[in-house]
């Protein structure tokens, strides 16, 4: 039997917690009665000709009491926090390294069609693409927790502007760009540092657009858009 994925395990855990919370409320009259009264107040407030905000607020309050008092909800929050801390500690040890190696695009593939990008989102864990060749596509990924390295050193970029969009919750991002490509950086962060080549800037709840080498003769340009909650971003040539 194949092992269950993390998504399936999380889904089953949420379902079991919801069922357990439902049984706990139903068989505990101290929780069940406020829930029934709250639902009744919401129903009457919604169907009454005169809308009553008081009944609505009291109804929501009475519904929230049994839900927040449920032992299953507290257990769910506790296990979720423990799981998040363990996953974050593992992600700090494993850098999401993405080495992009491309081939020249096929002219026949210029017709617009739907396809899955080669580089996919990853919330927790590592994603490593090495020695795999594919046609270049603009990169648009979300990395969640952990450090990420995007290596474009072996990339055959098409002429013109290529776009790399990376969103990260907690963690550092490092982008390795070819020596002959011009770079434009559009960075937004709550807290962290932006280092483009030899220039380093502190970022605090702000956005910065950086064009370090306005080389008009450059045939290829990489536009890098990064959004980070907390973490540093470094762009350097290789």
> In this predicted model, what pLDDT tens digit does every residue of 155-212 receive, in sequence order?
778 888 889 999 988 888 888 888 888 899 999 998 889 999 889 988 888 899 988 7
pLDDT at 126: 44
In 108-154, alpha helices (H): none
What band does 128 get if pLDDT is binned at 50, 70 and 90? very low
Position with higher pLDDT, 218 vs 183:
183
Higher pLDDT, 27 or 147: 27
> Which residue reads 């491309």 in tokens?
102
pTM of the prediction? 0.55
Q: Residue 120: what pLDDT?
A: 57
Mean pLDDT computed over 215-226:
82
pLDDT at res. 125: 47
Please name the helix (run of DSSP H) or strand (run of DSSP E) that holds residue 30, with its range, or none.
Answer: helix 29-47
E strand or H helix at 209: strand 199-210
* DSSP sequence for 202-237: EEEEEEEEE-S---TT-SEEEEEEEEEEE--EEEEE
User: What does pLDDT average to over the chain?
Assistant: 77
Average pLDDT over residues 85-98: 64
């Amino acid at each position: 039997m194949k092992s269950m994925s993390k998504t399936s395990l999380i889904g089953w855990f949420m379902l079991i917690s919801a069922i357990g919370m439902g049984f706990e409320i139903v068989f505990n009259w101290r929780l069940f009665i406020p829930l029934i009264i709250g639902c009744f107040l919401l129903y009457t407030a919604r169907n009454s000709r005169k809308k009553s905000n008081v009944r609505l607020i009291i109804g929501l309050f009475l519904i929230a009491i049994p839900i927040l008092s449920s032992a299953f909800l507290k257990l769910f929050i506790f296990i979720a926090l423990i799981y998040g801390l363990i996953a974050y500690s593992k992600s700090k040890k494993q850098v999401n390294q993405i080495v992009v190696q491309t081939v020249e695009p096929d002219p026949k593939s210029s017709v617009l069609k739907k396809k899955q990008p080669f580089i996919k989102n990853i919330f927790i864990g590592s994603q490593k693409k090495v020695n795999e060749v594919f046609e270049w596509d603009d990169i648009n990924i979300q990395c969640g927790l952990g450090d990420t390295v995007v290596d474009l050193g072996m990339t055959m970029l098409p002429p013109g502007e290529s776009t790399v969009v990376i969103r990260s919750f907690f963690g550092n991002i490092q982008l390795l760009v070819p020596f002959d490509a011009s770079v434009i950086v559009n960075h937004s962060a709550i807290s962290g540092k932006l280092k483009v080549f030899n220039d380093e800037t502190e970022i605090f709840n702000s956005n910065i657009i950086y064009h370090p080498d306005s080389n008009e003769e450059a045939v290829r340009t990489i536009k890098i858009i990064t959004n980070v909650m907390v973490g540093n971003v470094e762009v350097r040539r290789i």
